[in-house]
Amino acid sequence: MRSEAQAEKGTSLWQDALHRLMKNRLAVVGACVLATMVALALATPWIVPYAYDAQDLELGASGPSRAHWFGTDRLGRDLLTRVLYGGRISLMVGFAATAVSLLVGVVYGATAGYLGGRTDAVMMRFVDILYALPFTIFVIILMVLFGRNIVLLFVAIGAVQWLTMARIVRGQVMSLKHTDFIDAARVMGFSTSRIILRHLIPNVLGPVIVYTTLTIPNVMLIEAFLSFLGLGVQAPMSSWGVLIKEGADAMEEYPWLLVFPSLALSATLFALNFLGDGLRDALDVRAAKD
């Protein structure tokens, strides 16, 4: 007889999903593009040829050349450098704000859904109230009151994005909490926190992951939009949104100033969307059965 050391390995649903994801070519390309972007953003300070605020006023705006691959802006700053630094900010906003929304939304939604009844009603009415606040005005007020601050930007965007996450998670939990395996866990005498953390959340992660990959581009777009309105990061720091705004202002004379930042942002958004779609197909448990 075999010993336990030789126990056959099972394939978890996660491994199954990963296997299906790897077969989706678009999603794999998306993941690669995203990974490249993240790697570039992380390595930016060591690979850029110029400082992001180094000006060359004599050169002024110049088109792509061997010295400046993406050209320079009116102040003679290297656009490649600025796009890379801008990517750092944009991606950081995207990931950090999404992480905030993920953490708050999942815990809040799972708690409301599992406890149900009056607690759930109160918690979800609070969400409804926040939903009703006009987001842009909310952010503008925050910016006016506390000044332009990148951390505040994370908080402001995250504070809005977690609402949808909480609703998604609550819905999932509501449909799961009356399934037999949750009842079985209660019969076993497990604590509420154990049931939520070990039994409920792992089973709602599929939709959460999918929604997360679609939230990141959303957040990046919001950041770009706020920057476009002049509410985003402060000069001389830049983000893709800031660069696109500047590029749009100078679009007719110096089109490369618009083209390169837009390409960087679009490529990242496409990559995230393809990955998100791929994950949705891969994690769909019903499709996995046939």
Partner 1 sequence: MSEYLLELKNLKTHFPVRVGTLFERTVGTVKAVDGVSLGVPEGEVLGLVGESGCGKSTLARTVLGLVPATSGTVLFEGRDLRTLLSHELRALRPRLQMVFQDPYASLNPRMTVFDTIAEPLAVHTTVSRRERAGRVGELMERVGLARRLMKKYPHEFSGGQRQRIAIARALALNPRLIIADEPVSALDVSVQAQILNLIAELSREMGLTLLLISHDLAVVKHLSHRIGVMYLGKIVELGDAEDVFHRPLHPYTQALIRAIPSTDPGRARPAGLLHGDPPSPMNPPSGCPFHPRCPVAAPECATTPQPLLDAEPTRQVACWKAKTP
Considering the complex, state which of residue 113 and residue 261 has its C-beta at the smaller distance from partner 1. Answer: 113
C-alpha distances in angstroms, 59 versus 4, 56, 67, 118, 257? 72, 5, 12, 66, 15
Rounded least distance, CB 22 to partner 1, Å: 19
286 counts as binding partner 1 under rule CB under 8 A: no
Cβ 105 vs Cβ 81: under 8 Å: no
187 counts as binding partner 1 under rule CB under 8 A: yes
Rounded least distance, CB 283 to partner 1, Å: 12
Rounded least distance, CB 118 to partner 1, Å: 11
Residue 78: phi, psi to the nearest 5? -70, 125
Q: Of 185, 214, 229, 250, which lies in the binding site for partner 1, with binding defined by CB under 8 A?
A: 185
Rounded least distance, CB 153 to partner 1, Å: 35
Q: Scanning residues 155 to 184, which ones bind partner 1 (CB under 8 A)?
A: 179-181, 183-184
119 counts as binding partner 1 under rule CB under 8 A: no
What sign does the CA torsion over 62, 68, 71, 74 have?
A: negative
Find the part of the chain contacting partner 1 (CB under 8 A) among 131-139, 199-207, 223-231, 252-260.
199-207
Contacts 24+ apart (CB under 8 A), 111-120: 111/196, 112/166, 112/170, 112/173, 113/169, 113/170, 113/171, 113/172, 113/173, 113/174, 113/177, 114/173, 114/177, 114/192, 114/195, 114/196, 114/200, 116/174, 116/177, 120/170
Considering the complex, state which of residue 21 and residue 221 has its C-beta at the smaller distance from partner 1. Answer: 21
Binding mask 200-239 for partner 1 (x = CB under 8 A): --xx------------------------------------
**Residues near partner 1 (CB under 8 A):** 1-2, 4, 6-14, 179-181, 183-191, 194, 198-199, 202-203, 285
